[in-house]
Amino acid sequence: MAVSIAPKETADLNAMEDEAFRTHVRAWIEGNYPAELRNPPKRLHWEENKPWYFMLAEKGWLCPGWPRQFGGMGLSPAKQIIFTEEVERYGCARTNDHGIVMVGPLLINHGTDEQQQYFLPKILSGEHIWCQGYSEPNAGSDLAALRTEAVLDGDEYVVNGQKIWTTLAMDANWCFLLVRTDKNAKKQEGISFLLVDMATPGITVKPIINLEYHDEFCEVFFDNVRVPAKNLVGTPNRGWDMAKALLSFERIYLGSPRLSAYAFTRLRQLAERMGVWEDVAFQDTYGRLRLDLEDLKSLYGSFVDKLRRGKTLGPDVSMLKVFQTELFQRITDTMLEIAGENAGLLEPMEGNRNLNPTGLYIQARPATIYGGSNEIQKNILSKNVLGLPG
């Protein structure tokens, strides 16, 4: 899949005024995004979303957060948020973005020159599609209990174990993997990051059908998989700290109002279609959800401001993830309540993907589970923010 891509736009866009930047991004998306990929009812596989990936790559807009010297846009956090808002506003599909969002920042911060030079261009070109090997059957909420082990044998690690909930692993040709490299250390202190070519003998990928009847997640089995030792990122046995840093980034992403905001626009369309829009009781419910969404945006904005001022986010960012995902669920709960018997249909109503209450309801269910369940987020808040004992 060797692709050679020369980005068209290489100017530093940070110099633009925010509103001019927003208009610039919006115009390009509206002029280029493939209409048939707008607001996909399910997460798209690589074969479906790659036209968008390549379009972004050619434009030079694939990696808004990466520094410019690595081929990214080098956007400030504030500009990145505008960029994301515009992508979401238009209903652009999520790409296979683990390389962009996770592996890039990991290697830029902790990788060797050789790793950076080898891997980063292949993310930018779409040659490498990454998946994230974190959770295991017995290490979900308790991620640090992971047991997939990597034993050094000469200049190779031999990996054995199993990962689960690996998003779109069947599309990926590389995996960034948390492995146990020291069984005797405290559980957080014996974990390392390995980069693994999915074509290596001994890897088996088994899709999991989820409640959407979709194969978004996979189990990945490792049976004596030999990985070059040079594919270890950072310091051996210090992988947990790097993973945690990436997870806090994930938390602000999962706390972004985009999912709730999207569902909220669809709630109004559904209410109009079902003839309850004018209903006083519905308006009261709708008003409550709308104010929750407004306040979520304000709270999100306050975290974004911190980033804008160059501060790093603390454990309190977990608040966003909790409130956003619960709001997303409450909005979709309301959808089912007003949908009548359409609440039991598998497909969008009347073939209209904007009237998809059951699809959104099902998609909202795991939001309080993935990315660190809300129970775990509340543990973080009570212990690390409030300082409660235990």
Assess contact for 348 and 359: CB atoms under 8 A.
yes
Catalytic residues: 250
Residues 157-176: x where in contact with another protein by CB under 8 A, - otherwise, as a string: -------xx-----------
Least Å from the CB of residue 333 to another protein: 7
Q: Any contact of residue 365 with another protein (CB under 8 A)?
A: yes
Site for another protein in 99-138 (CB under 8 A): 135, 138
Taking each helix axis from N to C terminus, what angle separates 77-89 and 18-32, rounded to the nearest 10 degrees? 40
List 78, 203, 299, 336, residue binding another protein (CB under 8 A): 336
Q: Minimal CA–CA distance to 236: which of 189, 192, 180, 183? A: 192
Question: How far is the C-alpha of 232 from the C-alpha of 220, rounded, in Å?
Answer: 19
Please tell me the number of Cα atoms within 13 Å of 244 on its side-chain side.
Answer: 13
The nearer residue to another protein, 179 or 218, going by C-beta atoms, is 218
Question: How far is the C-alpha of 278 from the C-alpha of 284, rounded, in Å?
Answer: 10
Least Å from the CB of residue 370 to another protein: 7
**Burial class of 89 by CB neighbour count within 10 A (0 to 12, 13 to 18, 19+):** middle
**Burial class of 42 by CB neighbour count within 10 A (0 to 12, 13 to 18, 19+):** middle
Q: Any contact of residue 333 with another protein (CB under 8 A)?
A: yes
Written as one letter, the residue type at 270 is L
Least Å from the CB of residue 281 to another protein: 7
Q: Any contact of residue 385 with another protein (CB under 8 A)?
A: no
The nearer residue to another protein, 231 or 368, going by C-beta atoms, is 368
The nearer residue to another protein, 25 or 220, going by C-beta atoms, is 220
Q: Any contact of residue 339 with another protein (CB under 8 A)?
A: yes
Q: Any contact of residue 41 with another protein (CB under 8 A)?
A: no
Q: Any contact of residue 373 with another protein (CB under 8 A)?
A: yes
Site for another protein in 215-234 (CB under 8 A): 217
218 by DSSP, 3-state: which?
A: strand
What would the two tokens of residue 334 be?
């309301």
Assess contact for 210 and 217: CB atoms under 8 A.
yes
Q: Any contact of residue 209 with another protein (CB under 8 A)?
A: yes
Site of tokens 């306050």: 302
Question: How far is the C-alpha of 45 from the C-alpha of 50, rounded, in Å?
Answer: 8
Question: How far is the C-alpha of 356 from the C-alpha of 363, rounded, in Å?
Answer: 11
The nearer residue to another protein, 6 or 281, going by C-beta atoms, is 281
The nearer residue to another protein, 187 or 290, going by C-beta atoms, is 187
Question: How far is the C-alpha of 352 from the C-alpha of 181, rounded, in Å?
Answer: 50
Q: Any contact of residue 337 with another protein (CB under 8 A)?
A: yes
The nearer residue to another protein, 35 or 281, going by C-beta atoms, is 281
Q: Any contact of residue 346 with another protein (CB under 8 A)?
A: yes
Question: How far is the C-alpha of 162 from the C-alpha of 222, rounded, in Å?
Answer: 6
Site for another protein (CB under 8 A): how many residues?
A: 40
Query: Applying CB under 8 A, which residues contact another protein?
Result: 135, 138, 140-142, 145, 164-165, 208-211, 213, 217, 274, 281, 329, 333, 336-347, 358, 361, 365-366, 368-370, 373, 375, 378
